[in-house]
Structure formats: C-alpha cells, structure tokens
Structure 1
Amino acid sequence: MRDITVLLFLIFLIVISIRKAWLGVLALSIFGYMNPHSYAWGFVRSLPVYYTLFLVVCFSYLKTKDKQPIFFDWRVKSFLFLWFYFCITTVFAWVQFAAIPKLIEVTKIYIPFFFTLALINTKEKLYYLIITIACSIGIIAFKGGLFALATGFSYRVWGPSGTQYFGNNEFALMTIIAIPLLILFRNETQNNSIKLFLLVAIPVCVASAISSWSRGALLALIGSSTYLIWHSKRKFLLAPAVVGGVIFSLPYLPEKWFNRMQTIETYEEDKSALGRLEVWRDGWNYALDHPFVGAGFEGWRMVSMRDWHSAYVEIFSEHGFIAFGIWLSMILGSLLSLTRLQSMTRNYPELKWVNTYSISLKASLIAYMIGAAFLGVSYWDLLYHLIFIAALTKKFALEELDILLKNQFDSRNKHLRHLY
C-alpha cells in the first residue's frame, strides 16, 4: 500500500510538473528533502524517483515560456566558479577513485539549482518554494518529535535513509535550519488553521532536534533561537515563554542526554571531541602545505584517515583556501546582503515581507554556520537553496522597490505640474 501511495504521489508530481514547469522545482525539493520513497517497502524504494522528476523538469523547462534568464547575481557567479574550482582540485586529488564519483554527486546536486534561478521568477513562487522546503523537512521532523515526546527523549531521531540527512546529527541540523522557515510560513500565511497547527508543530520539531542527542545541533538551536527572539516584536513575551518551556522540559530528559551535553564544557576529557580536534589540526596543516588545491574530494582518506567532522575544515582541506574563501563569502555575503536589504526597505510598508524573509533566512544561515563547525556538510543542497533564495529575495525586493520609487517620482511630478 505504501508503494502504491508513493507511486501515485510521484505520478501526480510528474503531471503538475509537465503542466507548470516551476512546480517541478517544488517537486524536486519534496523528493530531495522529504525523500518519501525511502518510506516504501517494495519496488518503489529502488526506483530512480529524483532523476525521473529531474528529466521531467528538463522537458518542462524547455517547452515553457514562463521563465526568466538566469540572473548573474554575485552569488551565482561565485557558485559557478566554485564548481569549476572543484573540477580543478579533482584533477589533482589524492584519492581519484573516490574524488571523481564525489564530483559527479556534487554536480548532480548543483545542476537543478539552475531551474530554481530560471523558473522561480516571482515573489509568490519563491514563497511556495520556501514553504515547500520547510514543510518537506518539517513533516519528518514533526513525526520524529512525536516519537521523541512519546519515548521521553530516550532514543535518537534519525532522518530519511539514503539521504545526506540520514544521520541523527545531520537530521537535527537540517530540522533546526528549517524551523525559521516554518516560522516564516506561519507569519506569512493568512490561514488561521495553519497558523494554529504550526504553533504546535514548531515546538514538536524542536523536540525532534533535541532528541538527536547532537551537541552541535544544540548549539545551533541556541544560536538561531537567540537571533529569532532578539528580532521578534514580542521578545519580552517570547523570551520568558521559551525559558519557561525549557525549565518545564528539563525533568523529562534522560540523564544520559545531560551527560552527553555536558561534554561540550569538558571536551578535553571526551575522546570524540579530542579526535575531532586532531582531525582539524591534520586538515589545517595539510591545507597550509597545499593551499591552492588541497587533497581533493574525500581527501580525509589520505590525510587523516577519519572524516573531517567540520564543513569549514572539509572545504579548505579538500580544495584549498581559494575555494574556502569563495564558499565562505557566499554565506557571509548573503547575511550581509539580507541585512542591507532590510535597511533599504525599512521605510516601505509594502515591502514588509522583505524583513520577514530576511530574518528567517539569516536565522537558518546562522544555524547552518554553527552546526557546520561540527559536521562535514559543505556540499549540502539545503545550504545552496538558502543562498539562492536570499539572492531571489534581493532580486524581487529591488524590483518592487524600483516600482515604488518610480510611482512616487511620477506622483510628485504630476503634483508639481498641477501646481504650475
């Protein structure tokens, strides 16, 4: 029955993707993040579902007129250069048998983003893309949160099998990144039933992240939550409510959970933390010796024999400091761009949505930056989705701002002509 349900869902997404190409971008996001076929038990589980949808979107893209030329925002240029630089470092990679397949895998992740840039050509479509990503992750996190609450946080919550987010640490970080997007959904929707449901669902998703037993995820949750509360209009009500909720929840957490979280302070006594420090030192030293090309994809196999456990170390160790600078500038630059966009649109009530989008996107990026310090997640599609959503937000905001300024100018000229 599960297989039939997933198959019918896939057929439905194929049909709507053919009818409207931009819906194919949403369909790819659903199967990229929710990965519904991984919950099937039979033949559907082994079907190339994502690639089938990708080919459908390619066909739909070619036949549709409802698209825009790919705008070359600085992030898009950086993205293309980073991709090209990965190809160069792969030529010089230490572990060719692993580096080439990894480059192909990363390329498969990167190519669909060009559909996002071309087919998401209005603010409304961008909104639906954001809530599709948020809900695709949120549905699984909500399910995990219910499990966590039912079992008293005694077991770890894991992500969909066969995805980048299967591990408990990775899934927790993905959930924390999605929570600000769910908050954006709640702030923007006009449906009171959805608002009420999300008011319940978001804390349940938080419970899912907590039950990952991930120390890095806990720090990411604290960082993004602090930012969201600080920028909330109801911070003086929200902050005490959050503190009260935490105090109320503490007695229900198992002692093992506290023992694991306490190792954040006593990392020098924790073998896992010491192992990560050794790996980071190995990666740093190797990058200093090979600053331009690094060790290539999967270079940890030769340099340290252990996974990098940090996106930052992963990038500069595998691709050198030039690639690291490009990658990091895309993240930090997006944060700065969103901040500047808020400042530019602050005095225009019609552009209130820009502030809402910017706060949520920055909270998600902050969560990623904190969590990425402890996980090798530098090639996540979710990161690049956030960066390109930030770029599209800027594009649509500036277009609306130009129209508003033009209307004000025309109105002022009309008024002057009437006076004279």
Structure 2
Amino acid sequence: MRDIAVLIFLLACIGAALYRAWYGVLALAIFSYMNPHAYAWGFVRSFPAYQTLFFTVVFSTLITKDRQPIPKDWRIPVFILLWLYFIFTTTQAYLPDLAWQKLWFVTKIYLPFFFTLVLINTREKLLALIAAIGVSIGFIAAKGGLFAIATGFSYRVWGPPGTQFEGNNELAIAILMAIPLLILWYRETDNPWIKRGIIAAIPLMFASVVSSWSRGAFLTMGVLALLVIWHSKKKFLVVPIVIVAAIVGAHFLPDEWFARMETIKTYEEDASAMSRIITWRDGWHHTLEHPFTGAGFEGWRIVTWRDWHSSYVEMFSEHGFIAFGLWMSLILGTLISLTRLPKKVKSVPGMEWVANYCYMLRASLIAYMVGTAFLGLSYWDLLYHLIFISVLVKKFALEELAQKQAATPDKSRHAPRIRSFVRTRQDKPDGLQPS
C-alpha cells in the first residue's frame, strides 16, 4: 500500500513538472530532502525517482517559455569555477576510482540548481520553493519529535535512508537550518492554517534536535535560538517561551543526555572529540604540503584514519586552499549580501519582505556554518540551495527597487536645471527683457 501511495505521488510530481516546469524544481527539492520513496518497502524503494524527475524537468525546461536568463551574479561563475577545480583535483586524487565516483555524485547535486536559477523567476515561486524545503525537512523532524517525546528522549532520531542527512548529527543540523525557512514562510503567508501548522511543528523540530543527542547540534541550537530571538518582533513573548520550554524540557531529559552534553566542556577526555582534532591536524599539515590539490575526494582514507568531520577541513584537505577560498567566498559573500540588502531598501515602502527573507536565510546559513564545523558536509545540497535562493532574493529585490524608483519622479534631479533657467533670464540685459 505504501509503495502505491509513493508511486502515485511520484507520478503526480512528474505530471506537475510537465504542466509547469517550475513545479519540477519543487518536486526535486521534496525528493531530495524528504526522500519519500525511502519509506516504501517494495520496488519503489529502489526506483530511480530523483533521476526520473530530473530528466522530466530537463525536458520541461527546454520547451517552456516561462523562464529567465541565469542571473548576473558573481556567485554563479565562482560556483562553476569551484566545480571545475574539483575536476582538476580529481585528476590528482590519491584514490582515483573513489574520487571520480564522488565527483559524479557532487555533479548530480550541483546540476539541478541551474533549474532553480532559470525557472524560479518570481518572488511567489521563490517562497514556494522555500516552503517546499522547509516542509520536506520539517515533516521528518516533526515525526521524529513525536517519537522523541513519546520515548522520553531515550533514543536517537535518525534521518531518512539514502539522504545526506541520514545520520543523527546530520539530521539535527538540517532541521536547525530548516527552522528559519519555516519562520520565513510564517511571516510571509496570510493563511491561518499554515501559521498554526508551523507553530505546532517548530517545537517538535526542536525536540527532534534534542533527541539526536548531537553535541554539535546542541551548540548550533543555542546560536540559532539567539538569532531567532534577535530578529523576533515580539521578544517579550518569545524569550519567556524559550526559557519555559528549556526548563520544562530539561525535566524530561534522561541523565545520560546531560552526561553526553557535559563532555563539551571536557573534550580533552573524550576519545571521539580528540580523534577529530587529530584528523583536523593531519588534514591541515597535509594541505600545507599540497596546497593546490589536496588529497582529492575521499583522501582522508590515505591522509588520516577517519572521516574529516568538518566541512572546512574537508574542503581544504581534499581540494587545497584555492578551492577552499572559492567555497568560503560563496558562504561569506552570501552572508554579507544578506546583511547589506535589507539596509539598501530599508526606507522603501512595500519592501519589508526583503528583511524577512535575508535575516532568516542568514540565520539558516549561520546554522550551517556552526553545525558543520563538526561534520563533513561541504558538498551538501542544502548549503547551495541557500546560496542560490539568496542570489534570487537579491535579484528580485533590486528589480523591485528599480521599478519603484522609476515610478517615483526624482524632483531633485530637475531642480538644478530649473534654477539655472531662472538665473539666465534674470541675468539678461534689460534691453533683452520682453516688454
């Protein structure tokens, strides 16, 4: 029965993508993050659902007229250059077979983002994409939150199999990145049922994060909570709710959970934490010796004895400092753009939406930066989705700003010309004055 339900949903997504190409972008996001076919039991579980959707969107994109040129934004050529640099480092990788396989895996992650840039050509479509991502992760998180509460947080919550956040640590960071997206949707929608659903889902999402037993997620959750409070318009209401939730939640957590979180302060005595530090040190020293090529994809198998467990270390250790610089420029440049853009339109009536988008996307990106300092997720599709969504936010904001400025005459621009004309008439000799 579950197989049939998933198959019907897949066929509906394919039909929607053929009907409207941009619906395919939403469908790809749903199958990438929710991975609904992973919950089936029969043949649908191994069916190449994502690949089928991908080629459907390719076809639909080629025949549709409802598309836009790729935006002129510096992040897009940098992104392409980063991918080309991956090809170069793969030719120099220590483990060529594994490296080429990983390059193809990363390429399959990167290619669909160009559909996002081309087909998401209005702010309404962009909000729908953000909602699709938030709901896809939020559905998994809410289900995990219910399980966590029902079991007294005694068991870890895991992600859907076959995704990049299958592990408990990865799932927790994905949930924390999705929470600001749902808050953004809450602020931008007028539908009361959607608002109620989001209000009900977010506490369950936090419960799911707590029950991941992830120390990195615990730190990230603290940072995200501060960011959400900072950007809240009702701090007097949010702060007491957060404090009460923390006190009540702590009462139900098992002693083993607190014991695990306390190892953050005594990381020198924790074998897992110290092994990560050793791995990071090995990656750093190796990159100093091979600054342009690194070790290639999966190079940790040669350089050290365990996975990198840090996106930053993973990027420079596998591809060198040039690739790391390109990658970091995408992240930091997007943070700067999301910070500056609201200031540029702050005094423009009707453009309050820009601050909502920018601040919540920035909170999600910061959650990634904090959380993946302890997880090797530098090729994660959610990161690049945030970057390209930010590209589109900037594009739509600047276009709307230009339209508003064009519709509002700039009187000061004509003032000097008028004053000059009056002065010329006054300065004429009396004999030339009209009678």
For normalisation by structure 2, the TM-score amounts to 0.94
Counterpart residue number, 2:143? 143
Counterpart residue number, 2:431? none
Tell whether the 8 Å contact from 1:228 to 1:359 is kept in structure 2 after alignment.
Answer: no
Aligned residue for 1:154, secondary structure, equals coil
Q: Distance in 2 between matches of 1:278 and 1:60?
A: 49
Whether 2:26 is the aligned partner of 1:20: answer no
Q: Distance in 1 between matches of 2:237 and 2:163?
A: 38
Tell whether the 8 Å contact from 1:209 to 1:217 is kept in structure 2 after alignment.
Answer: yes
Residue 414 (structure 1) shift: 11
Q: Distance in 2 between matches of 1:88 and 1:337?
A: 29
Aligned residue for 1:76, secondary structure, equals helix
Question: Could you list the per-position Cα deviations for residues 189-211 of structure 1 after superposition, in whole angstroms to 9, with x for gaps in the alignment?
Answer: 10112112211110111100110
Q: Distance in 2 between matches of 1:246 and 1:238?
A: 12
Counterpart residue number, 1:58? 58
Aligned residue for 2:90, secondary structure, equals helix
Whether 2:43 is the aligned partner of 1:77: answer no
Residue 70 (structure 1) shift: 0.9
Q: Distance in 1 between matches of 2:344 and 2:231?
A: 17
Counterpart residue number, 1:105? 105
Residue 411 (structure 1) shift: 8.1
Counterpart residue number, 1:180? 180
Question: Could you list the per-position Cα deviations for residues 201-243 of structure 1 after superposition, in whole angstroms to 9, with x for gaps in the alignment?
Answer: 1011110011000001111111111111112121232112201
How well do the aligned residues superpose, as a CA RMSD in angstroms?
Answer: 1.6
Residue 413 (structure 1) shift: 8.4
Question: Could you list the per-position Cα deviations for residues 128-184 of structure 1 after superposition, in whole angstroms to 9, with x for gaps in the alignment?
Answer: 000000001101110000000111100000000011110000001000000000111
Matches within 5 A, 1:4-43: 4-43=4-43
Question: Quick check: which has more Rg, 1 or 2?
Answer: 2
Counterpart residue number, 2:402? 402
Q: Distance in 2 between matches of 1:361 and 1:49?
A: 29
Question: Could you list the per-position Cα deviations for residues 79-126 of structure 1 after superposition, in whole angstroms to 9, with x for gaps in the alignment?
Answer: 000000000000000111210100000000000111111001111111
Q: Distance in 2 between matches of 1:220 and 1:349?
A: 35
Whether 2:242 is the aligned partner of 1:242: answer yes
Aligned residue for 1:409, secondary structure, equals coil
Runs of 4+ off more than 3 Å: 410-417
Counterpart residue number, 1:361? 361
Counterpart residue number, 1:213? 213
Tell whether the 8 Å contact from 1:315 to 1:324 is kept in structure 2 after alignment.
Answer: yes
Q: Write the letter of the residue equivalent to 1:355.
A: A
Q: Write the letter of the residue equivalent to 1:294.
A: G
Question: Could you list the per-position Cα deviations for residues 319-345 of structure 1 after superposition, in whole angstroms to 9, with x for gaps in the alignment?
Answer: 001110110111111010011101001
Q: 1:27 to 1:411 in 2, by over 3 A?
A: farther
Q: Write the letter of the residue equivalent to 2:362.
A: K
Q: Distance in 1 between matches of 2:28 and 2:384?
A: 14
Counterpart residue number, 1:380? 380
Q: Write the letter of the residue equivalent to 2:77.
A: K
Q: Distance in 2 between matches of 1:182 and 1:41?
A: 30
Counterpart residue number, 2:428? none
Q: Write the letter of the residue equivalent to 1:326.
A: L
Tell whether the 8 Å contact from 1:294 to 1:317 is kept in structure 2 after alignment.
Answer: yes
Counterpart residue number, 1:315? 315
Residue 71 (structure 1) shift: 1.6
Q: Distance in 1 between matches of 2:378 and 2:166?
A: 16
Q: Distance in 2 between matches of 1:23 and 1:83?
A: 26
- Percent of aligned pairs with the same residue? 60
Q: Distance in 2 between matches of 1:50 and 1:147?
A: 28
Q: Distance in 1 between matches of 2:381 and 2:198?
A: 25
Tell whether the 8 Å contact from 1:276 to 1:308 is kept in structure 2 after alignment.
Answer: yes
Q: 1:66 to 1:412 in 2, by over 3 A?
A: farther
Q: Distance in 1 between matches of 2:200 and 2:4?
A: 31
Counterpart residue number, 2:391? 391
Whether 2:151 is the aligned partner of 1:155: answer no
Counterpart residue number, 1:346? 346
For normalisation by structure 1, the TM-score amounts to 0.97
Counterpart residue number, 1:94? 94
Residue 72 (structure 1) shift: 3.1
Q: Distance in 2 between matches of 1:299 and 1:400?
A: 46
Aligned residue for 1:385, secondary structure, equals helix
Q: Write the letter of the residue equivalent to 2:79.
A: F
Q: 1:411 to 1:189 in 2, by over 3 A?
A: farther
Q: Distance in 1 between matches of 2:129 and 2:50?
A: 17
Question: Could you list the per-position Cα deviations for residues 353-397 of structure 1 after superposition, in whole angstroms to 9, with x for gaps in the alignment?
Answer: 100001110110010000110000000000000000011000000
Provide structure 2 residue ranges, at least 5 long, that are not aligned to the other structure: 423-435
Q: Distance in 2 between matches of 1:211 and 1:347?
A: 43
Whether 2:165 is the aligned partner of 1:165: answer yes
Q: Write the letter of the residue equivalent to 1:374.
A: F
